[in-house]
Chain A
Amino acid sequence: MNLLKLPGVSAALLVLLLLAAWQATFMLAGAVAIASPSATFAYLAEHLPDLLPHVWATGQAFLYALVIAIAGGLLLGLVTGLSATAAETAEPLLLAANSIPKIALYPVVLLLFGIGLPAKVAFGAIHGVIPVAIFTMNAARGVPPVLLKTAAVLHLSPADRIRSILLPSALPEVLTGVRLGFSLTLIGTILGEMFGSQSGLGYLLMTSIGLQNTQIIMAVTVLLIAFAAIVSTALLAWERHLRLRR
């Protein structure tokens, strides 16, 4: 049991557990429904170069979407979080916006932007921006008033106020929002590619769903899970580090 406390061991065990569940599903459902782990990894090993253009296409759209989601979320969160009235006004609206099935908005995005990169970016960004805004708003509200008063007494400029008080105090919670925003932006970008593009991993996923090519479906899923797991584990570690330091 003590072995489990080592982070590497428990992560490896989790991966093994998931692979076992995957293999079991394959044995239950058959190759028509799902590619086996071995077939998927064999496919990945052989065809990774063919997938790379799609990876780049998705990566580019995702990066733009993430920058917009984080910048927009921070701005929205800070503007609303710094005034109690604005925060109280905005909170239920943001929570309601968060509960909307954004996939239903897809036709609107497509009609506004046309098929291609802007539509993917917009769809990724609308998925990610709201969680970043919600967490940033709550983080800004949670800054101890005594610190803000101290800043007022010391006549700090707004820039100094943000740099030396707001940011250090709010960063861990903002980071939680960014982590959620990261995940949702990735899903949003992939969903955007599924319906409105001619390139990227989402497009590949959608065409493979149509052709019932289970090897490509699982290969793309594995790539996405690996990427998401690595980044969100790193963000989580950073967040814990910041919280511990406080």
Chain B
Amino acid sequence: MSRITVYRALAVAIPLALVELACRVGWIGALTLPPPSQMVVGLWGILKSGVMNAAMLETFRNVVVAFAGSVVAGVAAGALIHAVAPLRRLLEPLFSTYYAVPIYGFYPLFIVMFGLGDKPEILIGFMLAVVAVITATLSGLDSVPRVLVKTARVLRLDPVRAAWRVTLPYAAPQLFTGVKLAAAYSFIGVIGAEFIMSQSGLGYEIRFAYDNLDNTVMYPLILLVLVVAVAMNGALDAWDRRLRARRSVGR
């Protein structure tokens, strides 16, 4: 395992070192890409001075709202669609093409409906995330063995206990895949919406810095977005692994 960790660290560190070298030697111009180490220093300065705290807070809050909403609505809709077979047959082609639809195209509609601000941004994040949760819920529910569903019925478990003791343990791995995707998509949706048109938030700040050719702000902020996305993914991944490990021990 530790050998793999070393390889992983090398797979990240070597390209980074090469980019750093290329920037320092001058193969990549400072206006195109500043050296990664300089971005880290810049990010540290921004975090310490606190100038971006309001933007960060707003973006992260919107991501959390979009994420939580998509998980709750997605699981509920998934359970409903799973229970009603004709509905599922009707909607399945929609789900399979959904992610080719440019959701951002609906952003102006949301702005007109809700005004420029948090709501249309949250809605974009929610719309990107919710279908991943729905499809994950469907495949999770599909993986519950029929015999266990019948056993629960024979034992007259009430729906809540049946869901808790039978459905959830079996559906959990697939469900969690959907939750991980939902977290990533909420983040992508909110940042993207802010980037296209907004008055505040991290995406807006990156756009603003880009339009003003302000590389000393833009690159550290891009780095911040990347670090947060990767950290969020890593944390959910670690949690997922722990859940899976516990499951296989319990068997």
* Residues in chain A within 8 A of chain B (CB atoms): 1, 4-5, 10-11, 13-14, 17-18, 25, 29, 32-34, 85, 88-90, 92-93, 95-96, 98-108, 110-112, 179-180, 182-184, 186-187, 190-191, 194, 202, 205-206, 208-209, 212, 214, 217, 220-221, 224-225, 228-229, 231-233, 236
Contact = CB atoms under 8 A, between A and B. Distances in A.
A147 to B, nearest CB: 26
Closest 6 CB pairs of A and B: A228-B100, A183-B100, A33-B112, A99-B184, A99-B233, A101-B188
B105 A220 contact: yes
A103 B226 CA distance: 11
- Overall SS of chain B's interface: helix
Contacts of B112: 29, 32-34, 212
16 contacts: A1-B86, A5-B89, A32-B112, A90-B11, A92-B8, A95-B237, A96-B229, A101-B187, A103-B188, A107-B222, A111-B33, A183-B97, A186-B100, A206-B196, A217-B109, A224-B101
A212 B94 CA distance: 27
A101 B192 contact: yes
Contacts of B197: 209
Contacts of A194: 104, 196
A88 B109 CA distance: 44
Contact of B218 (A33, A107, A191): A107
Contacts of A17: 90
B91 interface: yes
B191 interface: yes
Given A108-B33, A225-B101, A232-B96, A99 B232 contact: yes
- Overall SS of chain A's interface: helix
A10 B94 CA distance: 11
A10 B12 CA distance: 47
B4 interface: yes
A142 to B, nearest CB: 17
A161 to B, nearest CB: 25
B62 to A, nearest CB: 13
B173 to A, nearest CB: 15
A183 B237 contact: no
A209 B97 CA distance: 24
Interface in B110-129: 112-113
B44 interface: no
A179 B11 CA distance: 28
Contacts of B196: 194, 206, 209
A180 B107 CA distance: 23
Nearest to A1: B86
B41 interface: no
